[in-house]
Amino acid sequence: MAQIRALGLPLPQSFFSRTYSWELVREKISEAPFMGHGLEASYTWTDTYGDHPAWLADAVARYKVEFAWEIYPVVPGHPHNMPLQIWAETGMIGASLVAIFLFFLGWRLKPPSDWSPVTRYAAAGLIGVNVAVCSFAYSMWNEAFWASTILAAAVILLQARHDGEARV
């Protein structure tokens, strides 16, 4: 994360704050790497930029707004990165279970070469959007995000079924 800031690019404040959030979450992961801190533990982390003087100085130097950054939580509710949140809250055990689930899900699906182009592009779009959103936005436990993902996946599966019936 420090590498992103070191590039000197003008980062929006929300993205800038995420880089420090991810650093703090990495520190939290090292505190409990195997079992994690527990579900939704990130909501209980109260570190502010005022608790990290070097981070506060960096924020003030970049954005010239001291009062807001001093009291702003480093992890504002959740890390805004689902893989980090899974590892921090459920540990290596939870991260391994998620990886195993994704492996078997991928194994269970038909090979993409058997899908129609429409289904392939729709699935690739859904995967791409979800990777982006999972990397920068929602909490892992956000029901609305997962409901919309499941709804989109259901539409893609229905399209694939329709394509399969149309070929027969």
Quote the CA–CA distance of 18 and 81 in Å, as a whole number. Answer: 9
Model pLDDT, residue 109: 85
Query: DSSP letter at 137?
Result: S
Give me the long-range contacts of 160-165 (CB less than 8 A, separation at least 24): 160/110, 160/115, 160/116, 160/119, 163/115, 163/116, 163/118, 163/119
> Six-digit token pair at 144?
């609305």
Is residue 168 scored above 60 in pLDDT?
no
> pTM of the predicted model, to two decimals?
0.83
The band of 3, judged by pLDDT with boundaries at 50, 70 and 90, is confident
The domain ranges of the chain are: 1-108, 110-168
Say if CB 80 and CB 21 are below 8 A apart. Answer: yes
pLDDT for 46-97, tens place per residue? 999 999 999 999 888 888 776 688 899 999 989 999 999 999 999 999 999 9
